[in-house]
Structure 1
Amino acid sequence: MATLRRVIGSTRGILHPRLAGAKFQLSRHLPAPALAAFVAHYWMVRWDLRGGEPHQQRLLTHPVVQVVFGDGPPRVVGVVRGGFSRRLTDRGLAVGVRFRPGGFRPFLRAPVSTITDRTLDLAEVFPVDGAILQAAVLSAGADAAVARVLDEFLLLSPPEPDPVVDLVAEVVDLAARDQGIVRVDALAGRFDVSVRRLQRLFAEYVGVSPKWVIRRCRLHEAAERAARGDDVDWSGLAAELGYADQAHLVRDFTEAVGVPPGRYARDASA
């Protein structure tokens, strides 16, 4: 019998996390060890809003590819650079495979940038009947059973190990953790590669540029501070996160989140 490998993850990227926590339940689980080089985790979102109002959940996306099961046919979702939201109604379940940054490249066997901001039918990448697989995933029941179905699906034709995935994932992880990195040349220098080499790696494996990744990680930081109810000095934060001035941070934040940072902070802490 499979052992459930539950993951305690952050809410980074989930906008208005306090409200979200009252509207749905999110669990994350590690894949089988043979898939750990490619897959970060599986996620399951369950909600029951019967008798209540629908909930519109907005996300500040990450630089990852996902396979999603839920409404409609199963699909491969490339990195989403713009705004993303999902309307939850009634009662439901959504399940996903979140790949590591770079981890989908060995399955796709093509540059990941070719599917950025695109959605593919599952059968375009995997030799599987999507309808049958989705039925198995959504009817599996407990989280452990869902994870087992996903393991079996991905282990049907696992790709060869690719050491570049580890390098790319490490670069993205450093960009997320080290708030002092605000320029691509600084990130490239930490790994002793040229900026051009890093740009090519990201186009091939991540799907977006290193500049986009750095900027998105800084927006995650800004949104998280605002959601905590911190009294944010937006001008000082803009400088800390590498923006030329507060106006540039406000513009990027508003475009990605949907509202200006000051309004988001008020709404998220209400």
Structure 2
Amino acid sequence: MSAQNPGPRRDTRGIVDAADLFAHVRFRRHEPAPALRPYLEHYWLIDWDLAEPYASHVVPHPSVNLVFQRYDDSRPDFLELSGVGLALATRKLSGRGRVCGIQFRPGGFRPFAPGYAVSTWTDRVVAADPVFPHADPAAVLSPERDEDRVAALDAFLLALDPRPDPQAELAMELVDRVRHDRTLRRVDVLAREAGLSARSLQRLFAAWVGVGPKWVVLRYRIHEALEHAESAESVDWALLAADLGYADQAHLVRDFTATLGVPPSALRAGASRA
């Protein structure tokens, strides 16, 4: 497999007003078992006990998530499969609850469900029972200690016996290249460096990532723009647009607004969108 991740991400890229979210919920990330690290970004755990409803907003990564969920004992514990989200995701929380999520590396999910192209779930959130009929959400959600929940998540995934997949490995390597190399702005360059035709690259991304390579480039650039919008008192948007590979500021603002529903100017540092 390709190089393993160095551990759970410490950044908050994609979370709109992360400080406000963390003020309302207990949010943690944990590392999976060594055998699972080639496929996963991390586990993410959230617990809340709210006097008033709260809405969180996330610009999704190009990743599939499996999310074990419990809400106020109002319904049985359940597991959802969340494909790559194409737009801003809003989740409304109220009362008491907890979730235990698995974020896969882009390209890393299919070894756990090899019978499905990942594009099957793009922009969809569905019950995961048909794909993982033996999942036991209560076993994951009931423990109080984080380490016991992590152990239950490890046991669930290891029982699926994921096998090395050269296509998954290639997809993960290419997405990592897009994520970390800000000079990579053209899909034809990525295809050429991978030794693939543009059509073969598109097919690879559809089957193992769930979205096209151009979309992945755009999403990571929007994550960077959001991070700048929320962390800086003032942003030179023309300079940032050029740095992110946009033809001009107008194109960046257009893509940002289409993704988040508001222009960059509406997101001053520390402002809540809820």
Q: Tell me if TM exceeds 0.5.
A: yes
TM-score (norm. length: structure 2): 0.88
Distance 2:221 2:230 in 1: 14
Deviations 1:73-115 (A, max 9, x none): 3111111111201112233211111111111112222211111
Give the Å deviation of 1:8.
5.1
Give the Å deviation of 1:195.
2.2
- What residue is the counterpart of 2:179 in the other structure? 176
- What residue is the counterpart of 2:63 in the other structure? 64
Which sections of structure 2, spanning at least 5 residues, go unmatched?
Answer: 1-5
**SS of match in other structure, 1:82:** coil
2:245 paired with 1:239: no
Distance 1:206 1:246 in 2: 29
Please point out which of 225, 228, 231 is paired with 2:228: 225
- What residue is the counterpart of 2:266 in the other structure? 263
- Aligned-residue CA RMSD (Å): 2.2
Q: Confirm or deny: 8 A CA contact 1:218 1:241 kept in the other structure.
A: yes
Measured at CA, do residues 142 and 122 of structure 1 come closer, stay the same or move farther in structure 2, by a change above 3 Å?
same
- What residue is the counterpart of 1:193 in the other structure? 196
Give the Å deviation of 1:160.
1.8
Distance 2:87 2:272 in 1: 24
Deviations 1:23-60 (A, max 9, x none): 2222111212222232221110122323xx32211001
- What residue is the counterpart of 2:20 in the other structure? 19
Which sections of structure 1, spanning at least 5 residues, go unmatched?
Answer: none
**SS of match in other structure, 1:197:** helix
Distance 2:9 2:26 in 1: 13
2:50 paired with 1:34: no
Distance 1:210 1:55 in 2: 34
TM-score (norm. length: structure 1): 0.89
**SS of match in other structure, 1:87:** strand
Distance 1:47 1:6 in 2: 25
Q: Confirm or deny: 8 A CA contact 1:17 1:227 kept in the other structure.
A: no
Please point out which of 116, 124, 128 is paired with 1:122: 128
Give the Å deviation of 1:162.
0.9
Larger helix share, 1 or 2: 1
Give the Å deviation of 1:118.
1.7
Give the AA of the match of 2:39: F
2:145 paired with 1:142: yes
Distance 1:195 1:225 in 2: 32
Please point out which of 72, 82, 90 is paired with 1:85: 90
Please point out which of 105, 114, 122 is paired with 1:100: 105
- What residue is the counterpart of 1:76 in the other structure? 81
| Structure 1 segments (4+ residues) deviating >4 Å | none
**SS of match in other structure, 1:268:** coil
- What residue is the counterpart of 1:204 in the other structure? 207
Distance 2:9 2:269 in 1: 27
Measured at CA, do residues 136 and 81 of structure 1 come closer, stay the same or move farther in structure 2, by a change above 3 Å?
same
Give the Å deviation of 1:7.
3.4
Give the AA of the match of 1:104: F
Q: Confirm or deny: 8 A CA contact 1:60 1:257 kept in the other structure.
A: yes
Q: Confirm or deny: 8 A CA contact 2:63 2:103 kept in the other structure.
A: yes
2:139 paired with 1:164: no
Measured at CA, do residues 8 and 61 of structure 1 come closer, stay the same or move farther in structure 2, by a change above 3 Å?
closer
Q: Confirm or deny: 8 A CA contact 1:103 1:205 kept in the other structure.
A: yes
Measured at CA, do residues 25 and 190 of structure 1 come closer, stay the same or move farther in structure 2, by a change above 3 Å?
farther
Q: Confirm or deny: 8 A CA contact 1:229 1:269 kept in the other structure.
A: no
Q: Confirm or deny: 8 A CA contact 1:6 1:27 kept in the other structure.
A: no
Give the Å deviation of 1:191.
2.9
Distance 1:16 1:87 in 2: 15
Please point out which of 149, 152, 155 is paired with 2:158: 155
Deviations 1:233-269 (A, max 9, x none): 1122222222233222222111211211011135539
